[in-house]
Structure 1
Amino acid sequence: MVLEHVHITVSPVNVAAYLDAFEQARPQVQSQPGCHSCRLLPKLDAPGEFLLLIQWESKAHHTEGFRQSAEYAKWSRLLHPFYEVFPVVDYFELD
């Protein structure tokens, strides 16, 4: 199991619209083979900053599965316009 860790920054004035878009996009990732969970956590005292945590069966389920899918294209269309800077994605091994 791996944990995808993504730090996301959006303009504070766009937070409500981003959260609405995320709720529309969430099913795109949660329906993917190998996706076990997907959580978006707001950073305390920093409006517009979020931590996205997605648990995958393997890194390949994300990079070779989801990222190559039609669902990822929809995810991108919904969420990428909100990013102030493109998020950095890291992967951590889970026990």
Structure 2
Amino acid sequence: MVIEYIRYTVPADRADEFEQAYKTASSVLDGDPHCLAYEIARGVEEPEHYTARIEWDSVEGHEQGFRRSRRFGEFFAAVKPFFSGIDEMKHYDVRFGSR
């Protein structure tokens, strides 16, 4: 499993639009076999900052499976208006933690 973190800066006047875009895109993530879980979080101290945290079965599952799937276009269309606000988009290996 790998975690993809996407950090965004979203102007306050577009916050509702951003959240709705990810709610729309979430139906694609829910149906993808490579996506294990996801969450969208908004900054408390800096509410213009959002983080999308997506658990994938593997980097290959994300990049070769999900991104090449026919439904990826639906996901991309929903979130594309916010791509200019991406500050980081990277995969991370989990080393330890708790649940």
TM range (shorter): 0.7 to 0.9
Structure 2, unmatched stretches of 5+, are none
**CA displacement, residues 28-54 of structure 1 (integer Å, 9 cap, x when unaligned):** 122111211010011112222111111
Aligned to 2:72: 72
**CA displacement, residues 36-86 of structure 1 (integer Å, 9 cap, x when unaligned):** 101001111222211111111111111111111222211111111134434
Aligned to 2:3: 3
Structure 1, unmatched stretches of 5+, are none
How many pairs align?
95
Structure 1 length-normalised TM:
0.86
Aligned Cα root-mean-square deviation (Å): 1.6
- Residue 16 of structure 1: how far off its partner (Å): 0.6
Aligned to 1:23: 23
Letter in 1 for 2:16: A
- Shift in CA distance, 87/80, structure 1 to aligned 2, threshold 3 Å: farther
Which whole-Å CA distance do the structure 2 matches of 1:66 and 1:22 have between them? 16
**SS at 1:25's partner residue?**
helix
Aligned to 2:33: 33
Structure 2 length-normalised TM:
0.83
